[in-house]
Chains A and B, each alone.
Chain A
């Protein structure tokens, strides 16, 4: 089945830019979606279809996808961005139609 690989943790100072990667075989041929999950809360969609933002999500959140790596970029990081972030794809050839990455803990220093 299809595997998505994320770094377990990323740390960044407030005001800087955080980049969270999601690796997968030829992931550039798929649409990648990103979720933010704060402790004790349900996930929230922050980027869909590689780079689109749902209404209400700040422009600071952006995404890209090419080759074997998709990236979620958070500009001008704030303390409130500290959370777990998960990438997700749909893979109809897999026994799991929906595949999540293992998640990345973003720490704001």
Chain B
């Protein structure tokens, strides 16, 4: 069925990097973009950025510029999000979401989330 399957929980030390994967199935991967959205404990949703699965174009939230990289592997229909120089306030559940783009963007399919804990 149509789904996004994310990699498992991670525990990292401050200053380290984390790479989360998101494998798509049940649809044509290159027909949609993928966004990453994170949610700190007890907080709301924060958009991190977007990647086109068609051509690899990216757009990142300004506050994460320089620390985040989003990539895709079309041979495996997998999207990746790497976050570097981790801090304690990066502790959050990280979601990938399929982006419907037309006149604007919205997210019609979500992964189940990956908990990233940053702790010394």
> Chain A: residues with CB nearer than 8 A to chain B?
30-31, 33, 35, 41-45, 48-49, 54, 86, 88-90, 95-103
If A42-B111, A97-B50 touch, whether A48 touches B61 (CB-CB below 8 Å) is no
If A96-B47, A100-B46, A103-B44 touch, whether A45 touches B107 (CB-CB below 8 Å) is yes
Please name all residues of chain B whose beta carbon is closer than 8 Å to the beta carbon of A95 when the two chains form the complex: 61-63
Contact present for A42 and B106 (CB under 8 Å): no
In the complex, number of A-B residue pairs with CB atoms less than 8 Å apart: 63
Contact present for B106 and A88 (CB under 8 Å): yes
Contact present for B113 and A100 (CB under 8 Å): no
Contact present for B106 and A100 (CB under 8 Å): no
Which of A90, A102, A103 is in CB contact (< 8 Å) with B104? A90
> Chain B: residues with CB nearer than 8 A to chain A?
35, 37, 44-47, 50, 59, 61-63, 95, 97, 100, 103-108, 110-113
Shortest CB-to-CB span from B41 to chain A, Å, is 12
Please name all residues of chain A whose beta carbon is closer than 8 Å to the beta carbon of B105 when the two chains form the complex: 90, 97-98
**Chain A, Cβ-Cβ closest to B106:** A33
Please name all residues of chain A whose beta carbon is closer than 8 Å to the beta carbon of B108 when the two chains form the complex: 45, 48, 54
Contact present for A97 and B59 (CB under 8 Å): yes
Contact present for A86 and B44 (CB under 8 Å): yes
Contact present for A96 and B113 (CB under 8 Å): no
**CA A45 – CA B97 in complex, angstroms?**
11
If A100-B44, A100-B45, A103-B44 touch, whether A42 touches B61 (CB-CB below 8 Å) is no
Please name all residues of chain B whose beta carbon is closer than 8 Å to the beta carbon of A48 when the two chains form the complex: 100, 106, 108
Please name all residues of chain B whose beta carbon is closer than 8 Å to the beta carbon of A102 when the two chains form the complex: 44
Please name all residues of chain B whose beta carbon is closer than 8 Å to the beta carbon of A99 when the two chains form the complex: 47
Please name all residues of chain B whose beta carbon is closer than 8 Å to the beta carbon of A97 when the two chains form the complex: 47, 50, 59, 61, 105
